[in-house]
Amino acid sequence: MNNTDAANSPSHYILITLAVIIGLAGVYVRFVGDQTVNTTSIIGNVLMILGTVVALKAVFSILKG
C-alpha cells in the first residue's frame, strides 16, 4: 500500500470522527452542568482533553503515512 492509500484509510477518519464526538460531549458536559458543581467541569475537561489526544493521534498517523 502506498502512502496515499494509507492516508486515505477509513480507520483514520473514523478515529477523527470519534475524537470530535468525544470533544463535543466534553463541551456539552462542561457548559450544561450546574456551575456550582465542580465535578461536571472536571469531567468535561477530561473529555475535551481525551478528544484532543485521540484527534492528534489520528492526525499524526495520517502524516506518518
pLDDT in tens, the chain (65 residues): 566 777 788 888 899 999 999 999 998 988 887 666 778 888 889 999 999 999 999 999 888 86
**Total number of domains constituting the chain:** 1
**Cell numbers 478515529 correspond to what residue?**
15
Which pLDDT does position 55 carry in this prediction?
A: 94
Which pLDDT does position 9 carry in this prediction?
A: 84
What is the domain range of residue 47? 3-64
Which pTM value belongs to this model? 0.81
- What phi-psi label fits residue 14: left (phi over 0), alpha (psi between -120 and 50 degrees) or beta? alpha
Rounded to whole angstroms, the Cα distance separating 44 from 30 reads 4
Contacts of 27 (CB under 8 A, 6+ apart): 44, 48
Question: C-alpha distances in angstroms, 7 versus 4, 18, 34, 57?
Answer: 5, 17, 42, 13
Which pLDDT does position 38 carry in this prediction?
A: 78
